[in-house]
C-alpha cells in the first residue's frame, strides 16, 4: 500500500461531477473561490475524487491492478460547527482500485475494523447496506417515488426538494426518519449480480466474525456510491456519531472521463475518532518509536553528541540533541516528556574515558559503551523497540 497526497484545492467541477450536484456537500458545504485567473476552485471536502483525478491524469492504470492507496490530510466543509463537526477536519482514508470482487469489500471493512480495534475502540457499530448499480436503482427510485409520493405534504422542505432531485437522500433525513424506517428497502430491488455481490460480502463478514447491522436507511451523502455502502457509528458521541464511512464507487472513474475501474474505500474522521477514544476513556500511549534523546554536558560533549546524533539519524533513527543548555536532570525530564525510551548521555567523564552512557528511561538501567561500538549498539537496541 502506498501513501498518496493530492492538492488541498481542486477545480470545483471535480466535486460537482463526483460528489454530486444535488448532494449537501456541493449544495451547501463547499469552500469555493475564484482564483486570479477566474477559475472556480474548491478546498477539497473529501479525498476520493481528487485521488481518482490524480489516477486518471497520471495514467496510474499502467501500474496494473489491484492498487491500494492511503491518505491522511485536512478536508474542508462549510458546516455549522458543533462538537465533532468542524469546518477544517482531518481524514485518514484508504482506497482500493481495480477489483469488483466482494473480497475487496471485505478487505476494506476489515481495514476499518482493524484500525479502530487497534486503537482500543469497542463501542462502535458498522452499518451496512447495498444501494445497487444504476440499473437496479432505477426500479428502486420508482418504488421510493411511489412511497414518498403519498407523504409529500408531511416532508420537510429539504426533502420536498430532494423528492424531485435526489430521492435516495430522503432516507437519511434526520427529520423524516420515521418515514424512512418504513420505506422500501434498496436490497429488495437489487439485480442478480448486485444481490450476489451483497450476499457474498455478508457471508465473508460472518466468516471473519465482523459484526455489522444491515441498515436500509443508509445511503451516504455522496452520490458516487454503487453497491456496498457502510458507516461506522460510535455510541459515545452525540449527533455527529459517524467516525468512518465508505463504500464502492464503480462508476466514478468513467464519470470522470476514465475507463471502467471498479473501486472502493473508506475515510475516518480523525477528530471524531479522538472524541470516541475520550468517550471510552482510552489514552493513546504517546510512544515515540525509535526515538533517542542525546543529553550532553559541556561544549565538547555537545559536539561529540551532535556527531553521534548525525550518525544515528543516517541509520534512520529519530534523534534529538539538547540545544537548550539545560542541566542533565532537565534534559532527562524533557526526554521523558517527549516519550524517549533511551537517552544517550555524553559528559566530560565519558569523553575522557572514550565511552557514552545509554540509559533506558523506563527501567532506569544504564550501560557504558565504548565510543567505537556506540552507533551499532544503540541502533540495535533502539530499532527493535
Ligand atoms: P464521509 O462520510 O463524508 O465520506 O466522511 C468520512 C468521515 O469524515 C465521516 O465519517 C466523519 O468521521 C468525518 N467527517 C466528515 N465531515 C466532518 C466534519 N465536518 N467534521 C469532522 N469530521 C467530519 C467521505 O468523505 C468519503 N470520501 C469516504 C470514502 C472513501 N468513500 C470511499 N472512499
Digit-by-digit pLDDT tens for the chain (385 residues) are: 999 999 999 999 999 999 999 899 999 999 999 999 999 999 999 999 999 999 999 999 999 999 999 999 999 999 999 999 999 999 999 999 999 999 999 999 999 999 999 999 999 999 999 999 999 999 999 999 999 999 999 899 889 988 998 899 999 888 878 899 999 999 999 999 999 999 999 999 999 999 999 999 999 999 999 999 999 999 999 999 999 999 999 999 999 999 999 999 999 999 999 999 999 999 876 666 778 999 999 999 999 999 999 999 999 899 999 999 999 999 999 999 988 989 999 999 999 999 999 999 999 999 999 999 999 999 998 887 6
Closest CA to 162 of 151, 128, 252: 151
Ligand 1 within 6 A of CB of 127 = no
Helix (H, G, I), strand (E, B) or coil at 74: strand
- Residue 163's pLDDT is what? 93
Ligand 1 within 6 A of CB of 86 = yes
CA of 220 to the centre of ligand 1 (A): 10
- Nearest atom in ligand 1 to the alpha carbon of residue 231 is 10
Ligand 1 within 6 A of CB of 46 = yes
Contact between 268 and 95 under an 8 Å Cβ cutoff? The reply is no
Spatial distance between the Cα atoms of 69 and 54, rounded to a whole number of angstroms: 12
Ligand 1 within 6 A of CB of 20 = no
- How would DSSP label each residue in 129-195? EE---HHHHHHHHHHHHHHHHTTGGGS-HHHHHHHHH-GGGGGG-STTHHHHHTSPPGGGG--HHHH
- Residue 19's pLDDT is what? 97
Residue located nearest, by CA, to atom 23 of ligand 1:
269
Closest CA to 221 of 79, 336, 125, 82: 79
- Residue 286's pLDDT is what? 65
CA of 356 to the centre of ligand 1 (A): 50
Q: Spell out the domains of the chain, with CATH numbers in brackets.
A: 2-133+191-279 (3.30.930.10), 291-383 (3.40.50.800)
Give every strand in the sheet of 318-321, ordered side by side.
Answer: 318-321, 291-296, 342-346, 355-360, 366-370
Ligand 1 within 6 A of CB of 67 = no
- Residue 287's pLDDT is what? 64
Amino acid at each position: 500500500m502506498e501513501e498518496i497526497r493530492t492538492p488541498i484545492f481542486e477545480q470545483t467541477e471535480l466535486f460537482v461531477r463526483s460528489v454530486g450536484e444535488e448532494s449537501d456537500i456541493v449544495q451547501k458545504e463547499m469552500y469555493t473561490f475564484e482564483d486570479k485567473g477566474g477559475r472556480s476552485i474548491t478546498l477539497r471536502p473529501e479525498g476520493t475524487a481528487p485521488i481518482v483525478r490524480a489516477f486518471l491524469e497520471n495514467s496510474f492504470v499502467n501500474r496494473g491492478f489491484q492498487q491500494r492507496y492511503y491518505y491522511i490530510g485536512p478536508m474542508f466543509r462549510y458546516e455549522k460547527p458543533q462538537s465533532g463537526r468542524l469546518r477544517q477536519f482531518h481524514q485518514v482514508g484508504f482506497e482500493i482500485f481495480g477489483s469488483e470482487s466482494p473480497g475487496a469489500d471485505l478487505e476494506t471493512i476489515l481495514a476499518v475494523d482493524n484500525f479502530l480495534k487497534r486503537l482500543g475502540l469497542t463501542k462502535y457499530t458498522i452499518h451496512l447496506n447495498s444501494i445497487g448499480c444504476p440499473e437496479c436503482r432505477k426500479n428502486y427510485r420508482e418504488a421510493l417515488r411511489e412511497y414518498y409520493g403519498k407523504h409529500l405534504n408531511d416532508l420537510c422542505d429539504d426533502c420536498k426538494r430532494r423528492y424531485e432531485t435526489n430521492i435516495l437522500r430522503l432516507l437519511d433525513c434526520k427529520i423524516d426518519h420515521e418515514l424512512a424506517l418504513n420505506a422500501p428497502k434498496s436490497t429488495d430491488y437489487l439485480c442478480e449480480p448486485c444481490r450476489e455481490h451483497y450476499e457474498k460480502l455478508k457471508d465473508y463478514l460472518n466468516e471473519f466474525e465482523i459484526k455489522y447491522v444491515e441498515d436500509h436507511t443508509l445511503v451516504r451523502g455522496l452520490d458516487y456510491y454503487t453497491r456496498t455502502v457502510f458507516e461506522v457509528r460510535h455510541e459515545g458521541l452525540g449527533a455527529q456519531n459517524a467516525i468512518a464511512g465508505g463504500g464502492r464507487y464503480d462508476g466514478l472513474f468513467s464519470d470522470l472521463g476514465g475507463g471502467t475501474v471498479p473501486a472502493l474505500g473508506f475515510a475516518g474522521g480523525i477528530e471524531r475518532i479522538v472524541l470516541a477514544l475520550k468517550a471510552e476513556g482510552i489514552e493513546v500511549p504517546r510512544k515515540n518509536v525509535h526515538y533517542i534523546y542525546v543529553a550532553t554536558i559541556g561544549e565538547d560533549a555537545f559536539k561529540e553528541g551532535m556527531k553521534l546524533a548525525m550518525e544515528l539519524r543516517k541509520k534512520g533513527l529519530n534523534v534529538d540533541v539538547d540545544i537548550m543548555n539545560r542541566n542533565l536532570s532537565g534534559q532527562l525530564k524533557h526526554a521523558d516528556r517527549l516519550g524517549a525510551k533511551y537517552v544517550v548521555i555524553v559528559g566530560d567523564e565519558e569523553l575522557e574515558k572514550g565511552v557514552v552512557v545509554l540509559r533506558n528511561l523506563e527501567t532506569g538501567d544504564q550501560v557504558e559503551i565504548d565510543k567505537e561500538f556506540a552507533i551499532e549498539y544503540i541502533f540495535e537496541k533502539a530499532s527493535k523497540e
